[in-house]
Amino acid sequence: MSRIAYVNGAYVPHRQACVHIEDRGYQFADGIYEVWAVQNGKLIDREGHFTRMDRSLSELQITKPMSHASLMPVLHEIVRKNRVKDGLVYLQITRGVSPRDHPFPKNVRPSIVITAKSLNAQKAEQFAGKGVAVATMRDERWARCDIKSVSLLPNILAKQAAKEKGAYEAWMVDQTGMVTEGSSSNAWIITKDGVLVTRNLSTEILGGITRERVLMLAAERQLTVKERAFSVAEAKEAREAFMTSSINLVTPIIRIDEKAVADGKPGPMACALRKDYLQSAAT
Ligand SMILES: Cc1ncc(COP(=O)(O)O)c(C=O)c1O
């Protein structure tokens, strides 16, 4: 079955989907994106992603190309046309096409691209069930990591470096030795005394939509939660560690650099929170 993309108002075959070479997303990474998890054909946390999308656009002074009401049917249609049961929807909005010049162009129309992709839910469960390794490295990103910008060069360099070290994700570490977040996920630990810790929201991390949902699930379980920074040393001594994102949901971490987390097996609370997530998303 051929994939279909949505580009500036038209549904086109994925192979032929393109934007102009002077799109500012291509020239300057002048744009934002969102990723929705799709489960059983349903977009998860639709509103939360809309809110973050609006915020990213407003921080970059990019005009919203469509209202939520107009966007909603397009998101559903792209899921339907691509027959996605489990997977994700990717949306990107850039400032638009204009002759290359740094200042914002006047009267430019933002470009919007939406795609959808299937993921094998069974394989994803098997993958998460084994847990993953992370490699720590210096956070070399800019000072506005709260904006979901398509400018991801430091993130991909970190992810590649992690991959070369045999790890699945990079945990980025600030100048004071504290973990900010993963290259494409939020970072969590459960301390020795059972406190669930994830970094507090600030311009240093992306406010994950999955992070929000997991905080809600943790509250339902009456876990003690602290939103604060934690060091690499503290993480290596933690009872459990895990990562969250729309793509990986809740995925246990079993190794940080060369150090196994606890007994080196996926932590029971991380596994329980993943189950909670799947269950809550299904309702
Ligand atoms: C840097 C970064 N942090 C956190 C996340 C997790 O965000 P969400 O849970 O909304 O997918 C992502 C997801 O792409 C990310 O790129």
* Cβ of 184 below 6 Å from ligand 1: yes
> What domains are defined for the chain?
4-119 (3.30.470.10), 125-282 (3.20.10.10)
| Residue 283 confidence (pLDDT) | 83
pLDDT at 161 over 90: yes
* Cβ of 35 below 6 Å from ligand 1: yes
C-beta separation of 188 from 222 below 8 A: no
* Cβ of 209 below 6 Å from ligand 1: yes
Closest C-alpha residue for ligand 1 atom 14: 184
| Residue 242 confidence (pLDDT) | 98
Location of structure tokens 């097996």: 265
With helix as H, strand as E and coil as C, how does the chain read?
Answer: CCCEEEECCEEEEHHHCCCCCCEHHHHHCCEEEEEEEEECCEECCHHHHHHHHHHHHHHCCCCCCCCHHHHHHHHHHHHHHCCCCCEEEEEEEECCECCCCCCCCCCCCCEEEEEEEECCHHHHHHHHHHCEEEEEEECCCCCCCCCCECCCHHHHHHHHHHHHCCCCEEEEECCCCEEEEECCCEEEEECCCCCEEECCCCCCCCCCHHHHHHHHHHHHCCCCEEECCEEHHHHHCCCEEEEEECCCEEEEEEEECCEECCCCCCCHHHHHHHHHHHHHHHC
| Residue 10 confidence (pLDDT) | 98
| Residue 103 confidence (pLDDT) | 98
What residues does 14 pair with on adjacent strands?
none
For residue 247, which atom of ligand 1 is closest to its CA? 11
Location of structure tokens 């977009």: 43
> Across residues 20-32, what is the average pLDDT?
98
> Ligand 1 pocket test: which of 203, 206, 211, 248 has the largest number of ligand atoms within 8 Å of its C-beta?
206
pLDDT at 77 over 90: yes
| Catalytic (active site) residue 148 | yes
Residue 96: pLDDT band with limits 50, 70, 90: very high
| Residue 184 confidence (pLDDT) | 98
Residue 282: pLDDT band with limits 50, 70, 90: confident
Q: 45 CA to middle of ligand 1, Å? A: 13
Q: 259 CA to middle of ligand 1, Å? A: 24
- The chain-wide mean pLDDT, for the chain, equals 97
CA distance 165 to 9: 42
* Cβ of 56 below 6 Å from ligand 1: no
> Across residues 65-94, what is the average pLDDT?
97
CB neighbourhood size of 126 (10 A): 10
CA distance 279 to 283: 7
| Residue 31 confidence (pLDDT) | 98
> Ligand 1 pocket test: which of 47, 213, 245 has the largest number of ligand atoms within 8 Å of its C-beta?
245
pLDDT at 41 over 90: yes
CA distance 143 to 175: 13
> Across residues 98-107, what is the average pLDDT?
97
| Residue 204 confidence (pLDDT) | 98
| Residue 6 confidence (pLDDT) | 98
> Across residues 198-203, what is the average pLDDT?
98
Q: Which of 81, 85, 130, 148 is catalytic?
A: 148
C-beta separation of 4 from 108 below 8 A: no
> Across residues 15-23, what is the average pLDDT?
97
Rounded percentage of the chain residues whose pLDDT exceeds 70: 100
**Entry field: residues in the chain:** 283
> Ligand 1 pocket test: which of 149, 152, 185, 203 has the largest number of ligand atoms within 8 Å of its C-beta?
185
Residues 6+ apart with CB under 8 A from 161: 135, 137, 170
CA distance 30 to 25: 5
pLDDT at 1 over 80: no
Rounded percentage of the chain residues whose pLDDT exceeds 90: 98
> Across residues 250-259, what is the average pLDDT?
98
